[in-house]
Chains A and B, each alone.
Chain A
Amino acid sequence: MTTKTHVQTTINGEPVDFLCEPRQSLLECLRDVVGLTGTKEGCNDGNCGACTVKLDGRIVTSCLVLGVEAQGADIETIEGVAEGTNLHPLQLAFLENAALQCGICTPGFIVSAKSLLDQNPNPTEHEIRFWLANNLCRCTGYDKIVRAVQDAAKKMQEAS
């Protein structure tokens, strides 16, 4: 039986080391060990996307990644989306379009949507819905979320 493993990562651009047991998920490590509680736990089995983070350039459900797997990894979480006190256009668009109610799904949606817009600045509604199919929301009925992503895409293109 091993004891805790020393995991060295980069989280939101900063070097972060943590200790974890092999059975702990990356989600648990982020929330309970590192103290980054913006990433949420919904289902803990890969279905809801509340725990979405970017791991070495790909979005994943952090509940289905072991913390020990993150050795040497580059991780981006919801805490890294705003620049200081300036909200990201997606965050503003979610607020302005009322794309959240309880908000538990929102960090996951924003991290997912950001990775979509990073690679496809002008997605169609179909592409947005398809990309976000792995993120579930029990409150909004999705329409406002799709509108918010479209709105953010438009504003980001106007700004660039």
Chain B
Amino acid sequence: MTETEPLVRVEGLVKHFPITRGILIRRQVGAVQAVDDVTFSIARGETLGLVGESGCGKTTVGRTVLGLYPATAGAIVIDGHHVRTAKGAELMAIRRKAQMIFQDPYASLNPRWTVGAIVGEPLRVHKLCRDEKERLDRVKELMQLVGLSPRLINRFPHEFSGGQRQRIGIARALASQPLFVICDEPISALDVSIQAQVVNLLEDLQERFGLTYLFIAHDLSMVRHLCTRVAVMYLGVLVEMAQRDEVYESPLHPYTQSLLSAVPVPDPQVARSRKRVLLEGEVPSPINPPGGCRFHLRCPQAEARCATDRPAWRDVGGGHWVACHRV
């Protein structure tokens, strides 16, 4: 494995959730096609943003990449390990190297555990400390690292504010000294005045430890600020991926164009002059997604072949990927 090899490589990833009927004899009557043939990679030390509307499959991509959901098809490689076939010690190595931070800092922390127990858990699971004393010191160090006073070590999650709870989740994720962290909407539940604190913390930690991030988010403004590259998802597929400013300044896919134009800008003069590309209707169901291009029903530029042929996911130059017949 060379240094230029991406840290994370995902190829042709498919994740379908079966829909079953019947009580005694469960038969599969269909599938939620949550992720359908997704290919991307993430270089060491970079932050890839993954954006798209609610239900388009972002969380499912994240959880499947980490092996938390079994993939239906495709290949996932993290730091040279094949996630889908790893067992035993190799699986533990992946679990240690790749971590996740969740959207809801409340639901993802065990309410009956103290902060010390929560942050110290990965240290215990991965046997990273020789004794209890070393573990305690390490937990305090981690708390300090994310801006929590180590004096609060015996408190419970409900005694913290939303922003502080998110810091606890970050400390827990960092405990096993991971290389790769998936941040699933880590700031969506936080107030504006707190969001910047958490984003700046994520940046500091990345710089300090050379972390690689997959940053899943709704907030396209924050993604532009934080990410080096951005991937746009629609109904289970990637439609566009490129360097951050390339996506925001020269989006090629009609979906990316309308998505970006819908983001409100905190500047009344810009708001008055900006042109919106309003989309008709809503995202179709992933149970019976439209054939051909999944976006064709709402696409202002759709033509006949878009309804029948699935556009290829390809690099149109300089690492700008897009799946659209018209590009």
Is chain B a partner of chain A in the same complex?
no
